[in-house]
Amino acid sequence: MIYPGLVLQNRYRVLQPLGKGGFGKTFEVDDGGIPKVLKVLNLEFFYTPETRQKAISLFQREGAVLSRLNHPGIPRVEPDGYFTLAEASGEILYCLVMEKIDGINLNKWMKNRDNQPITQEQAIAWLEQLSEILTQLHQQELIHRDIKPSNILLQPNGQLVLIDFGAVREITDTYLQKQAKNITGTVIISIGYTPPEQAEGQSVPQSDFFALGRTLVYLLTGQRPTSFDKDFRNGKLQWRDSAPQVATEFAGLVDYLMDTFPGRRPQTPQMIRRCLQEIITPLPPPAVTLNGTISQATAAVTPSSNSTVTQKQQSFLTQASNLVANFLVKEPSVSLWQKVQLRRTISGHKDTVRAVAIAPDGQMMVSGSYDQTIRLWELPSGKLLRTLLGHTRRVTGIAISSDGKLLASSSYDRTIKLWELPSGELLYTLPRQSGKIRYLAFSPNNRTLISTSDLEIKLWAVNASQLLQPLTGRSVSARIATFCPDGQTCIIGSLDGGLELWNPYTSTRLHTHFSRSGGITSIAFSPDRRTLASSSGKTIKIWEPHLSK
């Protein structure tokens, strides 16, 4: 048992406890007049020998990694900083002593300022600092795997420090061989910050950039990344409207960091810094205080002695900026719209309209909005027929049955509601889901409803208003699902590029195809039901399901 006054290794005197997390307890210790931090592994939440040993291995790895790194943005651990203690009870304590860094993590710092968004200039300065830290880390063939605001300390001098290396992973030959064989490794997840490939046990260095981008979104908006919707076509987080202080170019770089596919993110920390130099002229970092205030910087920027760019580097910078430009939103060509005439604008919602659907007879349109309402409109007049109330959070999806008699709606309140059309009477509310629902579709005979959410795909019996079964074995990146014309199979499209044919009633995967062009953004059957079209990236693929090709 660790307590104040205890002397460890005839060297470290315990002063006081500092905190307790899920996997460790921390204490302040004195090392010959130098304050340091003692971290003791907490094994009480690991119930099996396998998980306990894995936790011990990760803890030992953290000590070994930190002892070989030497950077002001990384806590320092001496070579003998890791040791074990045997308790009188026979229990072994696993201990790690590291440098004590004065500061506050960015999560608490944001709370101290009531989650007020930071400026673009501050974000640029911090991105440069963190990129430099990751340069040191990645050059050592290491992946942090848990970058998030609570793992970044802000020091009184305004410098950042990346902490908590408990999830760090070394890229060894064994690790690469496991990836080549698609063997899942240890899964480390921080909700809202973990990239798709890491959630599936396939971390790569670019996984750190995704988490870094999500951290910037939180700092620039004052909102958690999970509070934003994603564009179902490309998986991009729709955060920009909540950060009006951010220029399009820098927002594009942040989106570049968070691309769904690691191969389409910056490949090195140096590339991030080069993109910053090419796209934006960085301003000097403002002076920051630990209570959350930011003062205006007045010092001029002086280029460092090693900032000379060679002709070869300039060519690389140009290519990098062009790559980022591909991810920026481009205005459509005017010529495409020269012959199009706006017939009518329908307004009435008080917030973003997220979903629309037109009844099979073409006489009614249904819209769902972030204002938590569903509205029924007469076509073609645009007259509001009625407003449906019931959802308590954003409405994210709607679907109309093929006979036009039923409407299904989904919401961030994690419910699915079934309504009668055209009366708008609420018929059923399906049981609350474990994740935000993204997509809904009726079967051709309207007896079954399929839904996709952040965590699962489910099949519902419409008439009985009950769950038939979930589809197991699917990745959390699945976003779009629709029934095939036969009503016995369904197609599932995913952000990881997967297009799969399933028998949803037996939860059996029948066929799988992966697109190298990017995530599946939409799928549609032809009116004769013989052709399937899928889009991903800049390509459209045509399939003939009845011929199994």
Q: Which residues are catalytic?
A: 146
Strand, coil or helix: 191? coil
143-145-147-152 Cα dihedral, nearest 10 degrees: -70
Distance CA 202, CA 179 (A): 7
Distance CA 143, CA 363 (A): 56
Longest dimension (CA), the chain: 85
Tell me phi and psi for residue 421, to 5 degrees. -115, 140
Distance CA 476, CA 498 (A): 11
Secondary structure of 16-47 in HEC code, one letter for each residue: EEEEECCCEEEEEEEECCEEEEEEEECCCCCC
Which two structure tokens, joined as six digits, stand for 168?
């760090």
Name the helix (H) or strand (E) containing 221.
helix 207-221
Are 53 and 41 within 8 A, CB to CB? no
Distance CA 418, CA 466 (A): 12
Cα dihedral sign, 275-278-281-284: positive
Secondary structure of 104-146 in HEC code, one letter for each residue: EEHHHHHHHCCCCCCCHHHHHHHHHHHHHHHHHHHHCCEECCC
b/e sequence 263-273, b meaning 16+ C-beta within 10 Å: eebbbbbbbbb
Tell me phi and psi for residue 240, to 5 degrees. -60, -35
